[in-house]
Structure 1
Amino acid sequence: MGGSMVAGYPHRIGGHCGSGSLRDLLEWAGLSYGDAPMGEGAVFGLGGSLSFSYLRGPGLGTPIYLVGRGASLTEQFSANLGIAQELRSTDDPVLGWEWVRDELDAGRPVLCWAEMAELPYLRVKMRMSRHDIVVIGYDDDAGTVVVVDNDRAEPQTIGRDDLARARSAVGFPVPTRHTCFRLGFPEALPDLRAAAARACAEAVHGMSDPAPAMGATAVAGTAGVAAFVADLDLWAEQLPGDALDRALFSLQVFVEKAGTGGSLFRRLQAEFLDEVGGWVGDAMMLEAAEVYQRLADAWSRTASAAVGGAPASDRLAEVRRAAAALPALEREGADRLAALAERLAP
C-alpha cells in the first residue's frame, strides 16, 4: 500500500477540458513563449484542432449534435510543440491503473480520458467519454485518487473505483479503454512562428472536410456550416412536438455550455490569434483574431436566440436570422488561417 502526489501542480478553471488540461500541464513543465504562463486560447490554437461537425438524427441521445473541434488536439499540440507523447489504451483495468500509478510515482501528472457522467463531482447526466482530466495523486490506504478538471477550481478527491468506471466506459463517442497519455516535455519550446504555421494549416484542414449529402444529415467543415444553416429550415417539419424545443436547447448547450470555451471554440481560436499575434508582432494574425471574434459573437447570438420564454417556433425563426451570418464568416476565417499558414512557415 502507499501513495504519491505531484507537488505544486498549477490549475485554473478552463473553458474546455482538453486545452485547459494542456495549459496546466505546460505551466507545470515551466514552458511558455512569454513571461507569463500560456493562455488557454493559445494552447487550443497551437493544437490546430478547430473544426465543425453537425449531425441530426436518431441514436444521438439528443435531436442534434454539434462540435467545433477535432479529435486529435493532444496529439497535434504535442507534435507542434516538440512534446513527446505516447497514447496508451487497454481493456485491462489492472494495466490501465499501473500506467497511471507508475507515472505518478515518478512525479509526473497523467492526462486521461474519462466518461464525464461517471465523475461524481460533476453531477451531470450527459454522457461524453472523451472528457480530459489530469490525475495528480493517489492514496492506496484510502482507496482514492486526486484529479484536476477544467470545470472545478480545486483538485477533486474521488474513489479509485469511480475513476475506474470513468476510464472503462463504452458510451459516446468512443469507449474510454483506460486511455492515458505519457508526455515528455522538452527543455524549451520550438520556434513559435513555425509552430503557429503548422497549427493554422491543421485548422484549415479541419475546416476543409467535404460535406456529405444533406440526406445523411451529417456535415462537416466550412461547407458543413452552410449545410447546417440550410438544415435549420427543416427543423420545424423534421422535429415535431417537444423535439424542436429539445433541439434548440441542445444547440445552446453545444455552442456555449458543453466545454467549448464559448462560441463553439471560436472564442478560443480568437484568443490564440490575438495572443500569438502579439508575441510575434504579426498584424495579419491580429486582423484574423478580429475575424474570429466576430465569428464567435455570431455563434453566441445564434445560441442565445435558441433559449428563452418565447414559443419554439419563434425562437427557431430568431436562430435562423442570427445563423445567416455564419457561413460567410467561417469561410473568411478559414481563408485568413490559410494565408497565415503560408506567411508564417519557415
Structure 2
Amino acid sequence: MSLVLILIGVIAFIVVATSKFKLHPFLTLILAAFIAAFAYGLPSSTIAKTITSGFGGILGYIGLVIVLGTIIGTILEKSGAAITMANCVIKLLGKRFPTLTMSLIGYMVSIPVFCDSGFVILNSLKQSMANRMKVSSVSMSVALATGLYATHTFVPPTPGPIAAAGNLGLESNLGLVILVGIFVAAVAALAGMLWANHFTNIEPDGEGADELKAQNEDYETLKQSYGTLPSPFKAFAPIFVPILLICFGSIAGFPSAPLGKATLYDAFVFLGQPVNALLIGLFLSLLLLKSDKKIEEFSERISQGLVVAAPILLITEAQEEFGLVHKNVNKIYSSNIMIYMYHKNTIN
C-alpha cells in the first residue's frame, strides 16, 4: 500500500511542478526519479547509477524514428503541404458539413505536423471557412483543435506516440500502433466534432474575444505566402507512404504469413521497418523543397527538425529513467517476498 501512495505522491509532484510552477518536464521527471528513489528506500549509493543507466536506453532505435518523423513534419509545415491537405478535404466534403470538414482537416494534418503548429497554419483557413459557411468561429476552433490533438496523441510517426510506443516496448510493432491509433483517434475526433456542434451559434466573448475577431481572415493571403503550393501527391506521399510501408511490414510478420515467405515478404519486412520507411518518406519530402539551393534548404530543415526533436528525446529518456527506478523497486520488493516465503516454508 505504501508503494502505491508513494507513486501517487510522485505523480502529484509531476503534475503540480509542470502545470502550476511551469517547470520543464525533463527536469521535473529527473527530480521525480530521485524523489521516488529516496522514498522507496533504494540504497543511496546506487540511486545515481540506477537513474543514469536508463539514459540512452531508448535512443538507440526509437530516437532515430522520432528525429526522422520530426524532420519530415518540419519540411511539410514549411512547404505549405498542410494547406494542400486542407484543400483536398474541402473539395471532398464541400461546405455541407463545416465542423466535420474542419475536424478531418485537423485529423490529417496533425499526423506529420505538430498540433500547435498546425493550428497556427490553419487558423486563417478556419476563420475563412467560418465566414463563408456562416458558422461560429468558436465551433470551428473546437473542431480543428480536437481533430489536431486526436492524431497528435495517438498516431505515429508523430513523435509523442512513437515515444509512448517505445516506453511500452512496442517499438518493433509500430504498424499495430498506427492501426489501433487511427481508430482510437477517429473516435476522439468524432467526440470533439460532436462537442463543437454545440457552439455553432455562439460567438466569441470574454477575454481575448476582440483579438479573435480581428484575426487575419484572408485565406488567399495565407496561400500566397507559401508561393506555389505542392501537389496532393507531393503533400501526402512523405507521410502516408511510410505509414503504409510500416503497416504492410507488420502484416507480413503475422504468424499466418499472409504475404508468404518469399521475395515479397523480405521486401515488406525490410521496407516496413520504421527507420527504413521514414527514410523513404524523408527522400519523398525532398520533392517539397522550393529554393534553387535545395541542399542548403534541406540542411536548414534538418537543423530545425533537430531543435524540435531534442526536447522530445530528452523527456522520453527522463521517462525511461523514472520508470527504471520503479522497475528496480519492484525487483527488490519481489525478491523480499520470495525470501520471506522461503524462510516461512523452511520454518514450517
TM-score in same-fold range (> 0.5): no
TM-score (norm 1): 0.25
Write 1 or 2 for the structure with the bigger share of helix: 2
Higher strand share: 1
Bigger-Rg structure (1/2)? 2
TM-score by length of 2: 0.25
